[in-house]
A and B are shown apart, each in its own frame.
Chain A
Amino acid sequence: MQVGSRSLLSGNEAIARGAVEAGVLVAVGYPGTPSTEILESIADRVDMEVRWSPNEKVALDVALGASLGGARALVTMKHVGLNVASDTYMTAAYTGVGAGLVIVVADDPGMHSSQNEQDTRAYARMGGVPLLEPSDASEAKEYTAIAFAISEEFDTPVLVRTTTRVSHNRGVVEVGSRADRPATGFVRDPAKYVMIPGHARARRPVLLERLERLTDYVEASPLTIESGDDAGFGVVTSGIAHHYVREVLPDARILKLGMSYPLPMNRIRAFSESVDRLFVVEELDPHVEDAILAAGIAVEGGTFFSRVGELSPDAVRGGFATAGILPAQPSAEAAPPTVARPPVLCPGCSHAPPFLVLKRIGAVVTGDIGCYTLAALEPLAAMDTCVAMGSSIGMAVGLAASGGAEGPVVATIGDSTFLHGGIPGLADAVYSQANITVLILDNGTVAMTGGQEHPGTGVTLQGSDTTPVNLMALCEALGVRDVRVVDPYDLAATYTALESAIAHVGPSVVITNRPCVEAPTKIRDRPFQVISEACTACQGCMTLGCPSIVWSEETYEGRRKVVIDPVTCTGCTVCVQLCPPLAIVAVPDREDAASV
């Protein structure tokens, strides 16, 4: 990236660039949509430590440690990651920092790839930590640099909150040069860094006094921008919502908040007094609206703009139409009927066959966060719960304890999720001798977010070899007496392994050992094809839900025969094992198939 150039960067790349230019030495995080690309985009820097941690709490611990060592530190995560890191987060607000510490949290309104749509701004208020909200890629870079300056000036961690539309939105960014900020060294200060009650009691007033100074800062800060000259009404807004408001009301009076905690309430009050009607447009929770109401200022917002899902230019226009500010829009023409296209497990996915077995066995399956959560959907429909990273194991222990499960209780969890939050759950299963089976779906990557390394893969984010965590030895060391590894592409072996593990009294673990077919490398073997004359259209292969297998135009006894797409088939052989008439055979030659 050339210094001085104008580049098209995503919000995530711009945050990373901002950290580079701010002289950050340690950047750390756990993958999570929509935050993942921040660290990936700077993985090749030789002048920075860029690392994946096993989870967000460890990541924040690492960043806080680096900050106390005098190195500027960046930590990245998705919104739910801050729940995991919140224990450190809440007390880091007490300790303050050494060098600048910035926590980037990417929210996911609309839940494009998340289990909830919590609003990180609530954490800012809870922790007493300042929060900046960039609205596009250009601001993402600029605000990251400002966040580091605030962090050092006020001796506090700083939150930078993005949303999916900021993180995954490319815009024009001017590239600057990197500041040289060598680590200043760790300075012992037990009263500040050792949070025993006696010390922490003294730090709480420091936190509150700091918030007062931050409030003064934001009142005078150019982060709060007033624009427009239309009389009558005014709009307070922040983040991506600001652009939607400008889109539908280009001349409106707008007070844009670059820092949405603490709030510049004097600026807001003065703004409100200059307009007849005051609106707030914000995504998700009424964070700003409630604060304005609490300050005794009349404001409208939640009545017109939904708290559910993402805003959009159309939603904002609709809200202002309901409020009588804009004329009502005729509703857009409906789309012609088309087919639903939910995400599915990939062709050749090693997660699919174990879930097919679990469905046959009739297990009650507690699930977890990862690609395999898609096994909850038809036709596998073999997952009964999915709540939070690592929850599957503890929930299985509880389900077994309740005696309320009809069928064996099986927890399913991916390799990275197990290392992230599953290990304490397994310790509990051993401690309580719970009669559950834990199925660790080890595909050697964080697949859901695009194939990142983790402590079990033996490779770091920056590409060096390292010691991988041995999952089998770890489970045995925790005290699980029945641990077995199975090839998930072998349906009979998977069936036997799971049935035997379930029969074991006490906790048991089954680990599958096929790598992800898509990441970090695409795995393709000789594809398979259906001999149409032999296919009895029984639909046995269709129970797998493989996207490479679809109905053909031919039928047998009124049922649709099937056909395999030779381009997407990975040759995993699982459908072959599901075909009683032996109608599925390997394509003789890969080249022939690819040119069909």
Chain B
Amino acid sequence: MSSSSRGLLLAGVGGQGVVLASMIVADALLRAGHDVKQSEVHGMAQRGGSVFSHIRWGSKVDSPLVPLGSAEVLAAFEWAEALRWVPYVQEGGAVVADIRTIVPPGACSDRRSWSTRYPDVDAQVFDCRHLKTRLIDATATATELGNVRAANSVILGSLAAFLDIDLLHWEAAIEGLVPRGTEEVNLAAFRAGREVADARLPRLASAPEGFSGPHEIDIRHEWCKGCDICSRVCPEYCLELDVDGKLAVVNAKACTGCRLCELLCPDFAIEIHPPPAPVVLGAPVLSR
């Protein structure tokens, strides 16, 4: 019932060059005599968002999209993107992932736990469905070769090791599509990528200890002249001057205790008090 077309996925972050890389793969497959379709989405995805490209090949390709669980290889240019797209890989398929991490700004927003929501670089996440993995540091390999911008060719080389396309076609595709003057370094990076070994993974970082509760903002109204410095600098938008020019706390729960308001107040009208020590839930309650 299933189609005879084969498939692979490339994934990364906007600006990493996923689209050019997938054009190279598609061109190599075309040169190898296959019918090829390649589909990507651009637009909003260019703005630092997740970018992915589906490539299908065979004697006659219908759907340009790879069905879930049927890609032979996933090549990810960034760690979190490898995790996002791995459900597309088939049982026993391969994952080539750059261990490079690009933490999106939105992952740095929990000002209670102060932990990013970025996943750990941990090979164990691929311990399922008999996946073959190649976890590489393409940036390091490309830097050794003298051009950090050839990192994508390292990844393509690593991907090529899992595909049955003649080296000849890869090299012609790379030469034809990379920017002029970078052919040699990209070809060298591609060849290096075919041989590259798994990188040593970084140690897992532990989340720092943060304050669990909001600080208390204590305003001495009789000293405040309504100069508005504090409300304009508060990173959490906790303070506001009301219509009468009187300072008010409008978002007490958001205070992280940075004390910018306290330190910048020319009239010493604000004091910030840390929250009481966090209550340990489940601790025995002392009875009188």
Q: Which residues of A contact B (CB under 8 A)?
A: 6, 8, 33-34, 112-113, 136-137, 164-165, 168-172, 240, 243-244, 246-250, 312-314, 317, 326, 332-346, 359-360, 362, 371, 374, 377-379, 448-450, 536-540, 542-543, 545-547, 549-551, 553, 555, 557-560, 580
**Which of A8, A136, A332, A377 meets B68, CB within 8 Å?**
A332
Distance in angstroms between the alpha carbons of A540 and B13 in the assembled complex: 26
A sample of 28 inter-chain contacts (CB < 8 A) reads A34-B42, A112-B41, A112-B43, A112-B44, A169-B64, A170-B38, A171-B36, A248-B67, A250-B3, A312-B63, A313-B66, A326-B1, A336-B83, A341-B84, A341-B106, A343-B47, A344-B48, A374-B47, A379-B105, A539-B111, A540-B258, A547-B105, A553-B205, A555-B208, A558-B211, A559-B111, A580-B260, A580-B263
A545 — which chain B residues lie within 8 A by C-beta? Answer: 105
Query: With A112-B44, A344-B104 given, can you name 4 additional A-B contacts, CB distance below 8 Å?
Result: A246-B3, A338-B80, A340-B117, A538-B258
Q: Which residues of B contact A (CB under 8 A)?
A: 1, 3, 5, 13-14, 23, 26-27, 30, 35-50, 61-69, 80-81, 83-87, 103-109, 111, 114, 116-119, 125, 128-129, 205, 208-211, 232-233, 235-237, 240, 256-260, 263-264
Q: Are A338 and B63 in contact (CB under 8 A)?
A: no
**Which of B5, B41, B103 meets A168, CB within 8 Å?**
B41
Distance in angstroms between the alpha carbons of A359 and B235 in the assembled complex: 11
Q: Are A340 and B235 in contact (CB under 8 A)?
A: no
Q: Are B44 and A343 in contact (CB under 8 A)?
A: yes
Q: Are A536 and B258 in contact (CB under 8 A)?
A: yes
B5 — which chain A residues lie within 8 A by C-beta? Answer: 247
Nearest 3 CB-CB pairings of A with B: A113-B43, A33-B43, A343-B47
Q: Are A558 and B44 in contact (CB under 8 A)?
A: no
Q: Are A344 and B47 in contact (CB under 8 A)?
A: yes
Distance in angstroms between the alpha carbons of A378 and B110 in the assembled complex: 12
**Which of A8, A312, A374, A378 meets B36, CB within 8 Å?**
A8
**Which of B30, B38, B67, B118 meets A339, CB within 8 Å?**
B118
Majority secondary structure of chain A interface residues (helix, strand, loop or mixed): loop
A378 — which chain B residues lie within 8 A by C-beta? Answer: 106, 109
**Which of A113, A169, A314, A558 meets B37, CB within 8 Å?**
A169
Q: Are A559 and B256 in contact (CB under 8 A)?
A: yes
Q: Are B105 and A339 in contact (CB under 8 A)?
A: no
With A8-B36, A335-B84, A341-B104: A539-B43 Cβ-Cβ less than 8 Å: no
A169 — which chain B residues lie within 8 A by C-beta? Answer: 37-39, 64
Distance in angstroms between the alpha carbons of A309 and B78 in the assembled complex: 27
Chain A residue, CB-CB nearest to B70: A313
Distance in angstroms between the alpha carbons of A222 and B8 in the assembled complex: 34
* Tally of contacts, chain A with chain B, CB under 8 A: 226
Q: Are A560 and B43 in contact (CB under 8 A)?
A: no
Q: Are A449 and B38 in contact (CB under 8 A)?
A: no
Q: Are A539 and B256 in contact (CB under 8 A)?
A: yes
A113 — which chain B residues lie within 8 A by C-beta? Answer: 42-45
Whole-angstrom distance between the Cβ of A131 and the nearest chain B Cβ: 22
Q: Are B43 and A335 in contact (CB under 8 A)?
A: no
With A168-B42, A169-B39, A539-B256: A335-B210 Cβ-Cβ less than 8 Å: no
Distance in angstroms between the alpha carbons of A267 and B115 in the assembled complex: 62
Distance in angstroms between the alpha carbons of A580 and B128 in the assembled complex: 49
B40 — which chain A residues lie within 8 A by C-beta? Answer: 168
Distance in angstroms between the alpha carbons of A343 and B14 in the assembled complex: 8
Whole-angstrom distance between the Cβ of A369 and the nearest chain B Cβ: 12
Q: Are A335 and B87 in contact (CB under 8 A)?
A: yes
With A340-B104, A360-B232: A317-B117 Cβ-Cβ less than 8 Å: no
**Which of A112, A313, A546 meets B65, CB within 8 Å?**
A313
Q: Are B50 and A341 in contact (CB under 8 A)?
A: yes
With A113-B44, A314-B67, A539-B111: A168-B208 Cβ-Cβ less than 8 Å: no
With A335-B86, A341-B80, A543-B235: A243-B64 Cβ-Cβ less than 8 Å: yes
Select the residue from A335, A546, A549 with max chain B CB neighbours within 10 A: A335
With A450-B46, A540-B235: A243-B63 Cβ-Cβ less than 8 Å: yes
Distance in angstroms between the alpha carbons of A34 and B211 in the assembled complex: 46
Distance in angstroms between the alpha carbons of A345 and B1 in the assembled complex: 45
Whole-angstrom distance between the Cβ of A423 and the nearest chain B Cβ: 26
A240 — which chain B residues lie within 8 A by C-beta? Answer: 64
Distance in angstroms between the alpha carbons of A113 and B26 in the assembled complex: 25
Distance in angstroms between the alpha carbons of A243 and B60 in the assembled complex: 11
Select the residue from B61, B236, B258 with max chain A CB neighbours within 10 A: B258
Whole-angstrom distance between the Cβ of A294 and the nearest chain B Cβ: 30
Q: Are A170 and B235 in contact (CB under 8 A)?
A: no
Chain B residue, CB-CB nearest to A538: B258
Whole-angstrom distance between the Cβ of A85 and the nearest chain B Cβ: 20
Q: Are B36 and A550 in contact (CB under 8 A)?
A: no
Chain B residue, CB-CB nearest to A373: B44
Q: Are A339 and B117 in contact (CB under 8 A)?
A: yes
**Which of A34, A336, A580 meets B43, CB within 8 Å?**
A34
A170 — which chain B residues lie within 8 A by C-beta? Answer: 23, 26, 36-39
Distance in angstroms between the alpha carbons of A170 and B128 in the assembled complex: 32
**Which of A359, A542, A580 meets B233, CB within 8 Å?**
A580
Whole-angstrom distance between the Cβ of A63 and the nearest chain B Cβ: 24
B105 — which chain A residues lie within 8 A by C-beta? Answer: 344, 379, 542, 545-547, 549-550
Distance in angstroms between the alpha carbons of A374 and B234 in the assembled complex: 22
Whole-angstrom distance between the Cβ of B175 and the nearest chain A Cβ: 15
With A539-B256, A558-B210: A165-B35 Cβ-Cβ less than 8 Å: no
Distance in angstroms between the alpha carbons of A545 and B48 in the assembled complex: 12
Chain A residue, CB-CB nearest to B85: A335
Distance in angstroms between the alpha carbons of A457 and B20 in the assembled complex: 28
B237 — which chain A residues lie within 8 A by C-beta? Answer: 359
Distance in angstroms between the alpha carbons of A142 and B39 in the assembled complex: 19
B257 — which chain A residues lie within 8 A by C-beta? Answer: 557-559
Distance in angstroms between the alpha carbons of A250 and B1 in the assembled complex: 7
